[in-house]
């Protein structure tokens, strides 16, 4: 299933994308896409519904983030071998974890806002997954059962704040609009091989990132197991898993986002995003 949230910011309603590309309203089945409503029982209720009888949603609706604001928004740094090489850094021996502020999450086509005093705004296309069932000290072999689905994340980053001065990745990753998610949350049963998904990000029509999840150092199941050793993951939590090469910081000289730039992102099976920078 392709689950989504539509409507004005802060007032989104739950929806489902049908086989013809129409949005169907799910408000009669679940109140939202997020939290406890992502467990297997509720996903089964949605899956069992007669989709043709669900109300059609009119054209032109804003698509919001595909999941309600989570308790935890966790990111994995340097998790692609080719991106680590681009950054001139050794491959990590274990996952590098940091947090993004949950309230930086926005819709897949919402504007990305340049913060005051920003000088190094950068892009990162990433595969993200959303927890569907509480995960604490989970075995890797059981990890997939704790995932509700997958989506695209643009891990917007302010490199000056992230790396200069005292640094700290949290500072460079959490400003408002720094976490576009969606357009859809694709349930785990729909993706046969999450370890081999083509990824692409363009800026003003120019391809900047063209990679695949096959170059991930730590796979999704391992990440669930590893993170759950330290953090009790809750239904609705979002984990974004790193980016392939082609970020602006890695170019010579570095290239950063400016007002008026348009980013377009796609991951096979997960749809597309489009954001204007302003």
Sequential DSSP letters for the chain: -EEEEESSTT--EEEEE-TTS-EEE-TTT-S-SSGGGGSHHHHHHHHHS-GGGSPBPPTTPPB--SSPPPS-EEEEES-BHHHHHHHT-PPPSS-EEEE--GGGEE-TTSPBPPPTT---EE--EEEEEEE-S-BSS--GGGGGGGEEEEEEEE--EEHHHHHSTT--HHHHH-STT-EEB-S-EEEGGG-S-TTS-EEEEEETTEEEEEEEGGGBSS-HHHHHHHHTTTS-B-TT-EEE----S--GGGSSS-----TT-EEEEEETTTEEEEEEB-
Domain residue spans in the chain?
2-53, 73-276
Token digits of residue 274: 């489009």
Distance CA 46, CA 48 (A): 5
Cis preceding-peptide flag for 253 (omega within 30 of 0): yes
Distance CA 76, CA 58 (A): 37
- Classify 73-276 by CATH class: alpha beta
Q: Using an 8 Å Cβ cutoff, are 17 and 6 in contact? A: no
Say if pTM beats, i.e. exceeds, 0.85: yes
What does the pLDDT profile of the chain (278 residues) look like in tens digits?
Answer: 999 999 999 999 999 999 999 999 999 999 999 999 999 999 999 999 999 999 999 989 999 999 999 999 999 998 998 877 777 778 889 999 999 999 999 999 999 999 999 999 999 999 999 999 999 999 999 999 999 999 999 999 999 999 887 878 899 999 999 999 999 999 999 998 999 999 999 999 999 999 999 999 999 999 999 999 999 999 999 999 999 999 999 999 999 999 999 999 999 999 999 999 99
């Amino acid at each position: 299933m392709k689950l989504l949230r539509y409507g004005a910011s802060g007032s989104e309603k739950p929806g489902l994308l049908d086989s013809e590309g129409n949005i169907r309203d799910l408000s009669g089945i679940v109140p939202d896409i997020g939290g406890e409503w992502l467990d297997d029982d509720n996903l089964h209720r949605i899956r069992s519904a007669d989709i043709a009888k669900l109300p059609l949603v009119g054209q032109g609706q804003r698509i919001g983030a595909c999941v309600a604001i989570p308790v935890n928004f966790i990111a994995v740094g340097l998790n692609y071998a080719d991106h680590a090489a681009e950054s001139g850094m050794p491959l990590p021996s274990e996952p590098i974890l940091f947090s993004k502020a949950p309230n930086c999450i926005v819709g897949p086509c919402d504007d990305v806002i340049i913060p005051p005093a920003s000088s190094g705004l950068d892009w990162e296309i990433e595969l993200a997954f959303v927890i569907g069932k509480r995960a604490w000290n989970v075995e890797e072999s059981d990890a997939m059962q704790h995932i509700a689905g997958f989506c695209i994340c643009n891990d917007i980053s302010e490199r000056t704040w992230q790396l200069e001065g005292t640094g700290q990745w949290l500072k460079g990753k959490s400003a408002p609009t720094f976490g576009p998610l969606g357009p859809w949350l694709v349930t785990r049963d729909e993706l046969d091989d999450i370890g081999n998904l083509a990824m692409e990000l363009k800026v003003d029509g120019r391809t900047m990132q063209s990679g695949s999840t096959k170059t991930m150092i730590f796979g999704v199941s391992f990440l669930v197991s590893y993170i759950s050793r330290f953090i009790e993951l809750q239904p609705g939590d979002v984990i974004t898993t790193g980016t392939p090469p082609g970020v602006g910081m890695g170019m010579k000289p570095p290239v950063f986002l400016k007002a008026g730039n348009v980013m377009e992102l796609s991951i096979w099976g997960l749809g597309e995003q489009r954001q204007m920078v302003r």
